[in-house]
Amino acid sequence: MKGIHPYTLERLTRLWVERDAEMPKDSSETLKSMCIEPYFAIKEAVILVLNSWWKILLLYPLKWRIWAYLREYTDDQMLPIIQEGKKKLPLMPHWMTMAFSTDMRTDWRKMTTKEAEEYRAELLWEAKQLSSKSSPATEATVGA
């Protein structure tokens, strides 16, 4: 499986949002809500396998139904596909971008250009520190 394309991420997100919209808040209704969409894993796996705007657009509606109704694949059979697809998702850069965008959305309008550039540089520096493998304790001993 190649890297995940942006449209594939968009379709996966849309699939999850549609499912979450149907998920009830009450825990006693959770099992019933899962029965509403028993082919969720198959839909997710098909999107990951197709991984192209044209393929998803043209083949997705037909392919997930073939896998679900004709071949009757189970969630156990979809698990390796979903696991492989999860490895290809660029989650950390996506989460960092979303966090920075959320933080800056309200503050950006209130700041001057210089303040905004300093704030962004500070966020990038903090993200770099969090992603580094050395702990603050080892950095202090190296600098001493």
- Between 128 and 56, name the one with better pLDDT: 56
Residue 1: inside a domain:
no
Q: Phi and psi at residue 127, in whole multiples of 5°? A: -65, -40
How much of the chain, in percent, has pLDDT values that exceed 70? 63
**Among residues 66, 89, 112, which one ends one of the domains?**
89
Confidence of residue 61 (pLDDT cuts 50, 70, 90): very high
Give the span between the Cα atoms of 83 and 88, in whole angstroms.
9
39 DSSP 8-state letter: T
Q: What pLDDT score was predicted for residue 14?
A: 87
Confidence of residue 138 (pLDDT cuts 50, 70, 90): very low
Residues 53, 100: one domain?
no
Name the domain count of the chain. Answer: 2
The answer to whether residue 44 scores a pLDDT higher than 60 is yes
Alpha helices in 37-112 (DSSP H): 40-50, 53-65, 75-88, 91-110
Residues 47, 99: one domain?
no
Give the span between the Cα atoms of 62 and 60, in whole angstroms.
5
- Between 36 and 23, name the one with better pLDDT: 36
Residues 32, 70: one domain?
yes
Residues 85, 101: one domain?
no
Q: What pLDDT score was predicted for residue 108?
A: 57
Helices (H) and strands (E) in the chain, counts: 8, 0
93, 9 contact by CB (below 8 A): no
Question: Tens digits of per-residue pLDDT, 3-23?
Answer: 788 888 889 888 887 776 555
17: containing domain: 6-89
DSSP 3-state of 121: helix
